[in-house]
Every structure is written in C-alpha cells, then in structure tokens.
C-alpha cells in the first residue's frame, strides 16, 4: 500500500471549534476515500490558533519561529491539503489569510486542495467562491470542484448526517482522487533559503 500525507489547516479561534470539527470530518472522509484507492494517508493537523502570535512575528520580521516553521514545512511536504476557515465579514479570517501570505508562491503549485468554511448562516457560503477559491488559484493549487460550507444550522443532528455529510463525502472523494493519481510529494529542501539575500539584509517589504 502506498503512502501519502495530508495537511489539515483549520483557522478556528474558539475551543471547541466548529471549523476544526469540519476540518477533522473532511480529513477523515478523505482518508477513507484514499483507502479505497489502496493508499494509506497520514493526517497532519495545523491548528492556526496555536500559531497566531508566530504568524504576526513572521510577518514583521521575515523569520518564522520554530513551531511555525514546522507548520509551513508540513504544508510544503503534504500531498494534499484540507483548508478550512471561519467566515468573518463575508471573507476568510485574517489569521487564515495571514498564514497563507507566508507560503512561498510555488509551494502549492499543482497541489490538490479542498476548501471549506464555517459561518453563522448559509448567506456566507459564497465567500468560498469569491474569496477562498481565488486565493488558492493565485497560489496555483488544484482546488477540487466541491467546496464545503457549514452554517450553524448544518450541525443539527439531521443535517449533519444528511446534506452536510453528503457534501463532505463528495468533496473528500474528489480530493482523494486527485491525491491518489499523483506521485508522492518531494520532501522540502532543508537547506533552501526562504528569502532572498536582499530580503535577509533589508527585511521584507515594510508595507
């Protein structure tokens, strides 16, 4: 049985978090989908709440603290990505966007990504298409067709096992298909510079 890794990025701020719950369910469904392809997968969660201060420090200094460096390396080495954000003011959260602002422009090129979000009402679901999907398209990721949005009412027992579960399974199946058909991702180069010498000397763009 071949092996793959799946980075599971969740940007929920509360504990417990419906964003993390949705991320976990999508990851588990993707694992099941890959098992049907004869592929064993290691799930590697990245809970952005734990890295919030480090993300800000990296944006200010241009250097990631060790824990954040590990999260970025996990993302870079993954064969596929589940990325889930809460929706604030009709868009992704600031923490979610700031984390992916730190990702090198080539890291997610041709990498399968499943996007998902949580929010108070279904009216926020379009944020996945007008904000989240374009961001990953800019990063040249392969975003699977089905995006999953979970509103508060979707967590009711009947909905969670009905419509929401159906969307989770469909999206996870699409991600599993994409991951299974690609060769395993090459591990990141531990000696590669994450910034140019001009950035190291002068600091990143002060804006």
Q: pLDDT tens track of the chain, all 207 residues?
A: 689 999 999 999 988 899 999 999 999 999 999 999 999 999 999 999 999 999 999 999 999 999 999 999 999 999 999 999 999 988 999 999 999 999 999 999 999 999 999 998 887 888 999 999 999 999 999 999 999 999 988 887 655 578 899 999 999 999 999 999 998 987 655 555 555 545 445 555 544
Q: Is the distance from CB of 128 to CB of 171 less than 8 angstroms?
A: no
* Beta strand residue intervals within the chain, DSSP E: 2-10, 39-47, 80-88, 91-92, 112-119, 142-143, 148-151
Residue 72: its pLDDT value, please? 97
In the CATH hierarchy, which fold is given to the domain comprising 3-202?
Rossmann fold (3.40.50)
Residue 200: its pLDDT value, please? 47
The structure tokens listed for 122 are 């279904």
The structure tokens listed for 126 are 């379009």
- The total of other beta-carbon atoms located within 10 Å of residue 78's CB is 27
Residue 192: its pLDDT value, please? 55
- The total of other beta-carbon atoms located within 10 Å of residue 79's CB is 22
Q: Put residue 110 in one of left, alpha, beta given phi > 0 → left and psi -120 to 50 → alpha.
A: left
The helices-and-strands tally (H runs, E runs) of the chain is 9, 7
Nearest Cα to 132, choosing from 75, 83, 79? 83
What single string gives the DSSP state of each residue in 104-133? Answer: -TTTTTT-EEEEEEEESSGGGGGHIIIIIH
Q: For the chain, give every domain's residue range.
A: 3-202
pTM of the predicted protein model: 0.87
Task: For residues 143 and 60, give the distance between their C-alpha atoms in angstroms, rounded to a whole number.
Answer: 30
């Amino acid at each position: 049985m071949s092996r793959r890794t799946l980075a599971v990025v969740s940007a929920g701020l509360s504990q417990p978090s419906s964003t993390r719950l949705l991320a976990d369910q999508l990851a588990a469904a993707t694992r099941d989908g890959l098992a049907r392809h004869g592929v064993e997968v290691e799930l590697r969660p990245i809970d952005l709440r734990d890295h919030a201060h480090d993300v800000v420090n990296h944006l200010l200094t241009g250097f990631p603290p060790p824990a954040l460096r590990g999260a970025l390396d996990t993302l870079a080495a993954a064969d596929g990505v589940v990325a889930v954000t809460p929706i604030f003011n009709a868009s992704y959260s600031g923490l979610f966007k700031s984390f992916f602002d730190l990702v090198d422009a080539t890291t997610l090129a041709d990498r399968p990504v499943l996007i998902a979000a949580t929010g108070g009402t279904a009216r926020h679901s379009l944020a996945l298409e007008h904000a989240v999907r374009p961001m990953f398209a800019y990063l040249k990721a392969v975003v699977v067709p089905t995006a999953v949005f979970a509103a508060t009412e979707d967590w009711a027992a009947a909905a969670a096992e009905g419509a929401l579960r159906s969307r989770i399974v469909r999206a996870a199946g699409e991600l599993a298909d994409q991951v299974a058909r690609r060769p395993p991702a090459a591990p990141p180069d531990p000696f590669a510079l994450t910034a140019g010498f001009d950035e190291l000397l002068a600091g990143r763009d002060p804006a």
